[in-house]
Amino acid sequence: MERHGSETYFVIGEGLLGETVGGRDRTLAAELEAVSPPFRFSRMGPRGTQRQPTESIREKVGNVMVEGGGGPSQIPAGFTYLGQFADHDLTFDKTSVMLGENVSPALLLQARSPSLDLDSLYGAGPTEPKSAKFYEADGEHLKVGTTDAIGNIPAKEGFDLPRGVGTSPADKRKAVIPDPRNDENLAVAQTHAAFIRFHNRVVDTLPGSVPQAQRFSVARETVTKHYQWILRTDYLPRVCPPSVVNSVFTSGRKAFEVGAVPTDVPTMPIEFSVAAFRLGHSMIRSAYNWNKIFDNGAGTLDFLFLFSGLSGDLGGGKRLPSNWIADFRRLYDFGEAGRADLTVAEAKFNRAMRIDTSLVNPLKTLPGFPAGERNLAFRNLTRAKMVTLATGQQMVTFLKGKGVTLTKLTAAQVRDGSNGASLDVLTPSQRTAFVADTPLWFYILREAELNQGRLKGVGARIVTETFHRAMEGSQASIVRDPTWHPTLGPDNATFRMVDLLLFAFKGKKTLLAPLG
C-alpha cells in the first residue's frame, strides 16, 4: 500500500537515512534513479544528539498520546484535511507520473523537491503521456468521478474521485489521481474532488480571449495562486499565530534557506516533515457529523478510512456510495463568507481537535499496517529517532541564534503541559531524560497545548518558514509575484477555503450538501 509518509529520508549532505526497505517504488529508468536521490530533504537546524528516547520511552509516550483527544478547537474540521492535502502536495514525488526518457536532471531535481504547486492534482500536466489519464480529452478539464447509487439516492457525477477501469475490483476502486495518498481517507478524498471541481470551473470561466494553447496553463496558474493565497491567509493563521505568518511573509525568513535564490529548487526540512507538520495528527477527530445520514458522530474515523480506496474498500463497491458524499457546510463555516443560508447548527458542525499532545484513540491502530506498527504517535517518535532529529530544546537554541524571538518551555511546562498527554507513565529517570531532551514533535505539540491549541515558538516558525520557501520556489508563486491578488473571491484581498468551495460548487446548497 502507498504510504502517507516517506520510509527513507535522503538528507542533503548526509545521504540516505532510515529504513533500507519499503521506500518508494522505482519510478524512473535505473540510470536516472542512480544519479538522483528520491526526495530532497535537508536539516534546518543541528543534528540531534545520541540522547534519543529508548524504545520503552517511545512506546509508553506513544501509547499515552493516543488515549484520546484533548477537546475540540475553534478551527473548522475541514482544515485538518486541507492540511493533509497540502502535505501531499509538498511531498509529492512527481517522477512517479513522468517517463524516464523525458526527464532532464533539472526537471528531476524540481520534481523531487517540495513545492506548493498542486502537482498532486495535476501530475506532470495533460501533455505528459503518463499524466494524460487524469484529464478529459480536451486536455483542459480534470476528470471527475461518479458515486454509486444507493437506496433512493442516485449516482452523482462529480462527487467522487475518478476511479479505475481495470478488471479486478481493486483496480476498479483505485483512484485515477496523481497522488493516491489523497484517497487515504474520505475527508482528504472529498477535498481533492473539490479541487478538481475548482479547476474545472476556472477553466469554464476563462475569458474567451485566452488562446486555446494557453487555456490549461492559465487555469492552472490561477488555481495554484488562489490555493497559495488560502494557505497563507486562511490556513496558516489558524494553526500558527498570525503575527508570525505576517512577519515571515512580509519580512522574510530567518532560519530556513535564508537568502536562497527564489527560483532555486527548495528542499524539505526534516524538522517540518518528521515533526512540526505532523501537527495535523492531533487535529483529527474520532467521529464526525459527516452528513445528514451519517450524523451525530456516525461518520467515525474508521468509516472515513473504510470509504476510501487506499485504507479501505469503499464499503465493498467500486465507487463511493452516494450516501457518503460530504456535506461541506459541516466542515467549513460559510458564515465567514456571509452565507448564513449555508451554515448548520453548532451541534452539527465539526471542529478540529485542538493541537496538543493528545491524539484520538483510533490512531493507535491505523489500518493497513502490521501489528505492532499501527500506533501513529509511536511511528512519529520512532521516525525522528531514525533520522537523529534535533530535540525541541536544540531547535530553541538554533532559532534564537538566527534572531527568532521565542521563549523556551520550562521543564515543568514540558512535563505537565495543559490537559495533554501525561508523562506519569514514565519512570522518574525516564521522565527527567524526556523533559531535558524532548522529541521535537512532542515539544511542538506541548507548545501548542500551552497556547490554546495553536502552534507557537519553534513549531510556528518551522511551519511558516517551510511553507514560505515552498511557495517561493513553486513555479507559480504568490511570494515571487507580490502584486498578484485573488480575482475569484469577494474582493481583491480575500480568498478563503469557503470562497474556493463557493466558486467550485457554484454557491449552491444542492452541490455543497447534496444530501440536504
| Grid coordinates of 184 | 487515504
Binding mask 11-30 for ligand HEM (x = CB under 6 A): --------------------
Whole-angstrom distance, CA of residue 161 vs CA of residue 191: 10
Nearer to ligand HEM by Cβ, of 86 and 500: the residue is 86
Tell the smallest beta-carbon distance from residue 257 to ligand HEM (Å): 18
Q: How far is the CB of 337 from ligand HEM (least distance, A)?
A: 23
Count of residues touching ligand HEM (by CB under 6 A)? 21
Of 45-53, 272-280, 440-448, 456-464, the window that binds ligand HEM (rule: CB under 6 A) is 272-280
Q: How far apart are CA 493 and CA 485, in angstroms?
A: 6
Strand, coil or helix: 242: helix
Residues 6+ apart with CB under 8 A from 310: 1, 2, 175, 180, 181, 183, 184, 368
- Say which DSSP state 103 is in: -
Contact between 84 and ligand HEM per CB under 6 A: yes
Strand positions, DSSP E, 177-285: 268-269
Residue from 394, 178, 380, 194 nearest 280 by CA: 380
CB of 283 to ligand HEM, least distance (A): 6
Query: Given the DSSP bridges, would you call strands 72-76 and 351-353 parallel, antiparallel or unpaired?
Result: antiparallel
We find the least distance from the C-beta atom of residue 277 to ligand HEM, in angstroms, to be 4
Rounded Cα gap, residues 164 and 144, in angstroms: 12
**Cα-only R_g, the chain:** 22
Contact status: 78 vs ligand HEM (CB under 6 A): no
* Cα–Cα distance list, 184 to 1, 24, 104, 397 (Å): 10, 16, 31, 37
Nearer to ligand HEM, 89 or 472 (CB): 89
Pick 277 or 328: Cβ nearer ligand HEM: 277
Binding residue (CB under 6 A) for ligand HEM from 249, 277, 442, 505? 277
Contact flags string 177-216 toward ligand HEM, x per CB under 6 A: --------x-------------------------------
Neighbours of 475 (CB within 10 A): 14
Stretch that binds ligand HEM, among 163-171, 191-199, 279-287, 430-438 (CB under 6 A): 279-287
Considering only 116, 284, 423, 435, the residue that binds ligand HEM (CB under 6 A) is 284
Binding site for ligand HEM (CB under 6 A): 3-6, 80, 83-84, 87, 91, 185, 273, 277-278, 280-281, 283-284, 366, 376, 379, 383
